[in-house]
Homo-oligomer: A and B are copies of this chain.
Amino acid sequence: MRVVMVGAGNVATNLCYALQKVGHEVTQVYSHHLSHAKDLAQEIGTEAYTDDFSTLCEADLVILCVKDDALGAVATRVAERYQTEETPPIVVHTAGSMCMDLIPMPRRGVIYPMQTFSKSYRVDFQHIPLFVEASDPSTASILKDFAHTLSDQVYELSSADRQYLHLAAVFCCNFANHCMDMGATVLEKHGIPFRVMLPLIDETTRKLHTLPPREAQTGPAARKDDNVMSRQIDILQRDGEELLATIYQLLSRNIQIFQSYDK
Protein backbone atom coordinates (compact mmCIF):
# COMPACT_ATOMS: atom_id res chain seq x y z
CA MET A 1 0.00 0.00 0.00
CA ARG A 2 1.01 3.61 -0.50
CA VAL A 3 1.14 5.03 2.99
CA VAL A 4 1.51 8.58 4.27
CA MET A 5 2.89 8.87 7.81
CA VAL A 6 1.77 11.91 9.78
CA GLY A 7 4.13 12.04 12.76
CA ALA A 8 7.79 11.28 13.32
CA GLY A 9 7.93 10.27 16.98
CA ASN A 10 8.58 6.91 18.64
CA VAL A 11 5.57 5.07 17.21
CA ALA A 12 5.85 6.63 13.73
CA THR A 13 9.55 5.80 13.49
CA ASN A 14 9.13 2.17 14.48
CA LEU A 15 6.06 1.82 12.28
CA CYS A 16 7.79 3.29 9.21
CA TYR A 17 10.60 0.77 9.54
CA ALA A 18 8.12 -2.08 9.86
CA LEU A 19 6.10 -0.85 6.85
CA GLN A 20 9.17 -0.64 4.69
CA LYS A 21 10.38 -4.04 5.83
CA VAL A 22 7.25 -5.81 4.63
CA GLY A 23 7.15 -3.89 1.33
CA HIS A 24 4.72 -1.01 1.77
CA GLU A 25 5.68 2.31 0.26
CA VAL A 26 5.89 5.25 2.66
CA THR A 27 5.46 8.15 0.24
CA GLN A 28 5.50 11.11 2.64
CA VAL A 29 6.44 11.83 6.24
CA TYR A 30 4.86 14.79 8.03
CA SER A 31 5.83 16.28 11.35
CA HIS A 32 5.04 19.48 13.20
CA HIS A 33 8.82 19.66 13.63
CA LEU A 34 10.28 19.64 10.11
CA SER A 35 13.65 18.46 11.45
CA HIS A 36 12.01 15.33 12.92
CA ALA A 37 10.24 14.65 9.63
CA LYS A 38 13.53 15.10 7.77
CA ASP A 39 15.39 12.73 10.08
CA LEU A 40 12.83 9.99 9.63
CA ALA A 41 12.30 10.62 5.90
CA GLN A 42 16.01 10.45 5.30
CA GLU A 43 16.35 7.19 7.20
CA ILE A 44 13.68 5.49 5.13
CA GLY A 45 14.42 7.34 1.88
CA THR A 46 11.28 9.41 1.36
CA GLU A 47 10.10 13.05 1.44
CA ALA A 48 9.67 15.21 4.54
CA TYR A 49 6.90 17.76 5.09
CA THR A 50 5.68 19.92 7.93
CA ASP A 51 2.25 21.31 8.85
CA ASP A 52 1.00 22.27 5.38
CA PHE A 53 -1.37 19.42 4.52
CA SER A 54 -2.25 20.90 1.10
CA THR A 55 0.88 19.03 -0.05
CA LEU A 56 -0.62 15.64 0.85
CA CYS A 57 -0.47 13.29 -2.16
CA GLU A 58 -2.88 10.59 -3.17
CA ALA A 59 -2.46 7.52 -1.02
CA ASP A 60 -4.19 4.32 0.06
CA LEU A 61 -3.73 4.95 3.73
CA VAL A 62 -2.85 7.93 5.90
CA ILE A 63 -1.60 7.03 9.38
CA LEU A 64 -1.91 9.70 12.06
CA CYS A 65 0.79 9.05 14.65
CA VAL A 66 0.66 12.34 16.53
CA LYS A 67 0.27 13.31 20.17
CA ASP A 68 -3.22 12.59 21.47
CA ASP A 69 -3.97 16.24 22.13
CA ALA A 70 -3.05 17.22 18.55
CA LEU A 71 -4.99 14.37 16.97
CA GLY A 72 -8.37 16.06 16.53
CA ALA A 73 -6.95 19.16 14.84
CA VAL A 74 -4.60 17.17 12.58
CA ALA A 75 -7.39 14.77 11.56
CA THR A 76 -9.66 17.70 10.64
CA ARG A 77 -7.01 19.34 8.48
CA VAL A 78 -6.11 16.09 6.74
CA ALA A 79 -9.82 15.55 6.01
CA GLU A 80 -10.10 19.05 4.56
CA ARG A 81 -7.34 18.26 2.07
CA TYR A 82 -9.13 15.17 0.80
CA GLN A 83 -12.72 16.47 0.85
CA THR A 84 -12.89 17.04 -2.91
CA GLU A 85 -11.23 13.72 -3.79
CA GLU A 86 -13.40 11.09 -5.38
CA THR A 87 -11.70 8.18 -3.63
CA PRO A 88 -10.06 9.60 -0.54
CA PRO A 89 -7.65 7.37 1.38
CA ILE A 90 -8.51 5.51 4.54
CA VAL A 91 -7.29 7.59 7.47
CA VAL A 92 -6.39 5.84 10.73
CA HIS A 93 -4.85 6.82 14.01
CA THR A 94 -2.72 4.69 16.33
CA ALA A 95 -3.78 6.02 19.72
CA GLY A 96 -4.90 3.77 22.54
CA SER A 97 -7.21 6.20 24.27
CA MET A 98 -8.69 8.21 21.41
CA CYS A 99 -12.02 7.62 19.72
CA MET A 100 -12.06 6.55 16.06
CA ASP A 101 -14.72 9.14 15.24
CA LEU A 102 -12.28 11.99 15.84
CA ILE A 103 -11.35 11.40 12.20
CA PRO A 104 -13.95 13.12 9.97
CA MET A 105 -13.42 10.87 6.96
CA PRO A 106 -15.86 8.47 5.30
CA ARG A 107 -13.40 5.57 5.61
CA ARG A 108 -11.61 5.80 8.92
CA GLY A 109 -10.16 3.50 11.50
CA VAL A 110 -7.71 2.79 14.25
CA ILE A 111 -4.68 0.53 14.32
CA TYR A 112 -3.43 0.54 17.90
CA PRO A 113 -0.09 -1.23 18.29
CA MET A 114 0.06 -2.17 21.93
CA GLN A 115 3.73 -1.82 22.60
CA THR A 116 6.23 0.57 24.16
CA PHE A 117 8.31 2.35 21.55
CA SER A 118 11.55 4.29 21.74
CA LYS A 119 13.19 5.92 18.75
CA SER A 120 16.55 4.53 19.77
CA TYR A 121 15.34 0.95 19.98
CA ARG A 122 13.72 -0.91 17.07
CA VAL A 123 11.03 -3.41 17.95
CA ASP A 124 9.96 -6.36 15.86
CA PHE A 125 6.35 -5.67 14.81
CA GLN A 126 5.65 -9.29 14.02
CA HIS A 127 4.57 -10.20 17.53
CA ILE A 128 3.02 -6.87 18.55
CA PRO A 129 -0.73 -7.14 19.10
CA LEU A 130 -2.49 -4.74 16.71
CA PHE A 131 -6.01 -3.70 17.72
CA VAL A 132 -8.07 -2.67 14.71
CA GLU A 133 -11.30 -0.72 14.48
CA ALA A 134 -12.96 0.57 11.32
CA SER A 135 -15.87 2.72 10.19
CA ASP A 136 -17.46 -0.04 8.08
CA PRO A 137 -17.00 -3.74 7.26
CA SER A 138 -15.17 -3.18 3.97
CA THR A 139 -12.66 -0.79 5.59
CA ALA A 140 -12.31 -3.26 8.49
CA SER A 141 -11.40 -5.98 6.06
CA ILE A 142 -8.79 -3.81 4.31
CA LEU A 143 -7.27 -2.67 7.61
CA LYS A 144 -7.15 -6.17 9.04
CA ASP A 145 -5.41 -7.47 5.90
CA PHE A 146 -3.00 -4.57 6.13
CA ALA A 147 -2.39 -5.19 9.85
CA HIS A 148 -1.70 -8.85 9.14
CA THR A 149 1.16 -7.87 6.83
CA LEU A 150 2.81 -6.31 9.89
CA SER A 151 1.91 -8.65 12.73
CA ASP A 152 0.60 -12.13 13.39
CA GLN A 153 -1.53 -10.82 16.27
CA VAL A 154 -4.43 -8.78 14.92
CA TYR A 155 -7.61 -8.23 16.94
CA GLU A 156 -10.74 -6.20 16.28
CA LEU A 157 -11.63 -3.95 19.22
CA SER A 158 -14.09 -1.10 19.75
CA SER A 159 -13.03 2.38 20.88
CA ALA A 160 -14.64 1.74 24.28
CA ASP A 161 -12.76 -1.50 24.94
CA ARG A 162 -9.54 0.01 23.58
CA GLN A 163 -9.76 2.59 26.38
CA TYR A 164 -9.67 -0.15 29.01
CA LEU A 165 -6.87 -1.90 27.18
CA HIS A 166 -4.83 1.29 27.09
CA LEU A 167 -5.48 1.94 30.76
CA ALA A 168 -4.29 -1.58 31.60
CA ALA A 169 -1.22 -1.00 29.43
CA VAL A 170 -0.37 2.12 31.43
CA PHE A 171 -0.30 -0.01 34.59
CA CYS A 172 1.48 -3.02 33.05
CA CYS A 173 4.07 -1.06 31.11
CA ASN A 174 4.43 2.60 32.11
CA PHE A 175 3.86 2.20 35.84
CA ALA A 176 5.84 -1.06 35.99
CA ASN A 177 8.73 0.71 34.24
CA HIS A 178 8.46 3.55 36.73
CA CYS A 179 8.78 1.04 39.57
CA MET A 180 12.06 -0.08 37.96
CA ASP A 181 13.09 3.58 37.82
CA MET A 182 12.34 4.06 41.51
CA GLY A 183 14.41 0.92 42.25
CA ALA A 184 17.22 2.27 40.06
CA THR A 185 17.12 5.52 42.04
CA VAL A 186 17.64 3.67 45.32
CA LEU A 187 20.53 1.67 43.84
CA GLU A 188 22.20 4.69 42.28
CA LYS A 189 22.09 6.58 45.57
CA HIS A 190 24.09 3.78 47.17
CA GLY A 191 26.49 3.04 44.32
CA ILE A 192 25.04 -0.34 43.30
CA PRO A 193 24.82 -0.87 39.50
CA PHE A 194 21.31 -1.36 38.08
CA ARG A 195 22.37 -4.36 36.00
CA VAL A 196 22.47 -6.64 39.08
CA MET A 197 18.68 -6.22 39.08
CA LEU A 198 18.15 -7.55 35.54
CA PRO A 199 17.87 -11.30 36.31
CA LEU A 200 15.20 -10.51 38.91
CA ILE A 201 13.35 -8.21 36.52
CA ASP A 202 13.47 -10.78 33.73
CA GLU A 203 12.14 -13.49 36.00
CA THR A 204 9.34 -11.22 37.28
CA THR A 205 8.10 -10.93 33.71
CA ARG A 206 8.77 -14.50 32.69
CA LYS A 207 6.67 -15.83 35.56
CA LEU A 208 3.61 -14.06 34.16
CA HIS A 209 3.60 -16.40 31.18
CA THR A 210 2.58 -19.22 33.52
CA LEU A 211 1.12 -17.55 36.64
CA PRO A 212 -1.42 -14.73 36.91
CA PRO A 213 0.16 -11.67 38.60
CA ARG A 214 -1.99 -12.14 41.72
CA GLU A 215 -0.47 -15.57 42.26
CA ALA A 216 3.03 -14.46 41.29
CA GLN A 217 3.03 -11.71 43.93
CA THR A 218 5.86 -12.01 46.46
CA GLY A 219 7.62 -9.60 48.82
CA PRO A 220 7.19 -8.05 52.27
CA ALA A 221 3.64 -6.74 51.67
CA ALA A 222 2.35 -10.05 50.28
CA ARG A 223 3.76 -11.96 53.24
CA LYS A 224 2.64 -9.25 55.70
CA ASP A 225 6.17 -8.67 56.95
CA ASP A 226 5.56 -5.44 58.89
CA ASN A 227 9.12 -5.25 60.25
CA VAL A 228 10.71 -5.21 56.81
CA MET A 229 8.11 -2.80 55.48
CA SER A 230 8.59 -0.27 58.26
CA ARG A 231 12.38 -0.55 57.99
CA GLN A 232 12.24 0.04 54.24
CA ILE A 233 9.97 3.06 54.67
CA ASP A 234 12.48 4.38 57.25
CA ILE A 235 15.33 4.01 54.73
CA LEU A 236 13.38 6.01 52.13
CA GLN A 237 12.54 8.74 54.63
CA ARG A 238 16.14 8.88 55.89
CA ASP A 239 17.21 9.28 52.24
CA GLY A 240 14.79 12.22 51.89
CA GLU A 241 12.59 10.27 49.46
CA GLU A 242 9.24 11.27 50.97
CA LEU A 243 7.23 10.67 47.79
CA LEU A 244 8.78 7.22 47.30
CA ALA A 245 7.92 6.43 50.92
CA THR A 246 4.28 7.41 50.26
CA ILE A 247 4.20 5.29 47.09
CA TYR A 248 5.76 2.38 49.00
CA GLN A 249 3.00 2.56 51.62
CA LEU A 250 0.17 2.90 49.13
CA LEU A 251 1.33 0.04 46.87
CA SER A 252 1.96 -2.20 49.88
CA ARG A 253 -1.52 -1.49 51.19
CA ASN A 254 -3.06 -2.30 47.81
CA ILE A 255 -1.02 -5.53 47.49
CA GLN A 256 -2.48 -6.63 50.83
CA ILE A 257 -6.02 -5.74 49.73
CA PHE A 258 -5.58 -7.72 46.49
CA GLN A 259 -4.09 -10.69 48.36
CA SER A 260 -7.07 -10.69 50.72
CA TYR A 261 -9.47 -10.99 47.73
CA ASP A 262 -7.66 -14.15 46.81
CA LYS A 263 -8.48 -16.09 49.93
Contact = CB atoms under 8 A, between A and B. Distances in A.
Given A69-B227, A196-B165, A235-B167, A180 B172 contact: yes
Interface residues of A, number: 95
23 contacts: A68-B220, A114-B197, A116-B207, A116-B219, A155-B196, A164-B187, A164-B189, A166-B232, A168-B186, A170-B219, A173-B201, A174-B218, A174-B219, A177-B207, A177-B208, A178-B217, A178-B254, A180-B208, A184-B213, A194-B212, A243-B253, A246-B250, A247-B250
B173 A225 contact: no
Number of copies of this protein chain within its complex = 2
B207 A118 contact: yes
A235 B174 contact: no
Nearest 9 A/B pairs, CB to CB:
A174-B219, A171-B183, A172-B183, A181-B213, A168-B183, A180-B213, A176-B179, A164-B190, A205-B205
A93 B187 CA distance: 22
Interface of A, helix, strand, loop or mixed by DSSP? helix
Interface in A142-177: 153, 155, 161, 163-177
A223 interface: yes
A129 interface: yes
Contact of A115 (B117, B203, B213, B258): B203
Contacts of A169: 183, 197, 200
B129 A196 contact: yes
Interface of A: 10, 67-69, 97, 114-118, 120-121, 123, 127-129, 153, 155, 161, 163-187, 189-190, 192, 194, 196-205, 207-223, 225-228, 231-232, 235-236, 243-244, 246-248, 250-251, 253-255, 257-258
B190 A161 contact: yes
Given A205-B204, A208-B201, A247-B250, A165 B181 contact: no
